Amino acid sequence: MYGVCQILKEIREHRGITLQSVHASSGIHLAQLSRIENGKRLPTLEQIQILAKIYKCDEKRLIIQRESDRIIESIPYPEIASETLKVAEAKVIYGSQYLTLFPEIFIEPKIGLESRRYIGNKASLTDWIMSIIKKYTPTSGTFCDIFAGSGSVAKKAIPLFNNVIINDFLFSNNIIYHGFFGNGKWSVEKVSEIIASYNAIEIEHLPDNYFSINFGGKFFEYKLAKLIGYIREDLEKMRSNLTYKEYAVLIASLIYSIDKHANTVGHFDAYIKKPITERPFRLKMIDAQSYPNVKIYREDSNSLARNISCDVAYIDPPYNSRQYCRFYHIYENLVKWEKPALYGVALKPAPENMSGFCTSRAPLYFEDLIANLNAQYFVVSYNNTYQSKSKSSANKIKLEQILDVLNKCGKTQVFEHSYNAFNTGKTVFVDHKELLFVTQVDNERKRKAFTTLLRG
């Protein structure tokens, strides 16, 4: 290798200086000088400074020569030396921006189902719920989560049951289930490439769109709103080139990626009325799996109940007047992408999928559901927020009414767990308890009790 040692020797000879006189004027031992010139050892930085003065040459250039020799010596594989040096150079040039140059070579952690903010989600309770289900419902047949919401309970049931039914009447929840669990064909490489192409977009150059005009600067930072609207429109345009699973993974990834950027306290009933700070955004892929034993529905619970059978029916309806379709109207709008007219300060579309369980008739809906759902076991989640002072948080069905209906079907056990529920912070739930009712159904008893309500 032609390095700093050879260069020093050539400069000295070119200048017509003897080694002896270099030794005399530098104080560097003669043997050391000849070891340097023979390439047996590199000069120290101090020696370079002295020699540069004697040879009247640029000290910095000599140091650069010395350091590059050191780097080359430290690379153990000559075949990748040149490539390694190019990468090192790019790292020096781009500094902290370096990673943004090559997003495709880094494996991004996928977003988990439980990471979404969802009112009433049982993500932190699924171990407790499943441990009770496994102990008190001795079957591994079909599990049905008929008000699946975030889907976290259903997800826990997938490895434990032969078949799992997941239902929720919201469009956004349904596409999320298809993204995370649906069994269609898809290419992870294709979806990754599409996501990488969206991450490379320069938002400044995007035109305004339905999403940015309506929600920019309100529910989302304005530039991010532009990107969200652009991506959603683009997905619709390329839909015919995607399988349904790919489409669902991409839409669910969009929802999950923007969820952390929403300018809200966790739902879209209102936005925070303060200027929104711009934050870096990256579209990330959800942790999509394919399960042949999962059936996904988007139906009204009481209609679906009349058409399915299961071994364990997990029932976690809304218990107060707050409608989920109104809480999550932005995601409903984004998924349907029909660009409807919007109303009010929170820019909601016309109501759709309003739940009877959020009305004063909730006890009747509950009884109708239990009467018509064919299951060996009912497992019902309930919490004691009905004691809340806020009217909209007050429960529409009382604990005694649940027990009364379940007792008509068979022996019912009640389990209790202390729990900090996810709420927007306005409502304080004192001594919050999560209850789980488990009923083993006696079909004869049930049939007699509900003769007038049965599957009709």
Ligand X SMILES: C[S@@+](CC[C@H](N)C(=O)[O-])C[C@H]1O[C@@H](n2cnc3c(N)ncnc32)[C@H](O)[C@@H]1O
The binding site for ligand X (CB under 6 A) comprises 118, 120-122, 147-150, 152-153, 168-170, 173, 300-301, 316-318, 324, 355, 357
d(CA 191, CA 318): 34
DSSP string, 404-450: HHHHTTS-EEEEEEE------SSS--TT-EEEEEEEE--HHHHHHHT
For ligand X, the closer CB: 48 or 358: 358
Structure tokens at 230: 């652009």
C-beta nearest to ligand X: residue: 149
DSSP string, 304-342: HHTT-EEEEEEE----SS--HHHHTHHHHHHHH------
**Least separation in angstroms between CB 316 and ligand X:** 4
Q: Which is nearer to ligand X, 65 or 355 (CB)?
A: 355
Closer to ligand X by CB, 145 or 311: give it: 145
Could you tell me what percentage of the chain is helix, strand and coil, using 3-state DSSP and rounding each to the nearest 5? 50, 10, 40
Shortest gap between Cβ of 327 and ligand X (angstroms)? 9
Alpha-carbon torsion 339, 341, 344, 345, what sign? positive
**Which residue, 231 or 315, is less far from ligand X as judged by CB?**
315
User: Minimal distance in Å, beta carbon 113 to ligand X?
Assistant: 10
Q: What does the DSSP assignment read for 96-134?
A: GGGGGG-GGGS-PPPBPGGGS--TT--GGGHHHHHHHHH
Taking the least distance from each CB to ligand X, the nearer of 190 and 433 is 433
Question: Which phi and psi (to 5°) does residue 389 adopt?
Answer: -75, -30
Q: How far is the CB of 258 from ligand X (least distance, A)?
A: 19
Q: Which is nearer to ligand X, 269 or 316 (CB)?
A: 316
Residue 234 Cβ, how far from ligand X at the closest point, in Å?
Answer: 28
Least distance (Å) from ligand X to the CB of residue 456? 17
How far apart, in whole angstroms, are the C-alpha atoms of residue 26 and residue 450?
107
Q: How crowded is residue 9: how many other Cβ atoms within 10 Å of its Cβ? A: 17
Distance in Å, CB of 393 to ligand X, minimum: 13
Q: Return phi, psi of residue 436, to 5°.
A: -130, 120
Give whichever of 224 and 304 is closer to ligand X, judged by the CB atom.
304
- If you search the block for the tokens 């936005």, which residue do you land on? 271
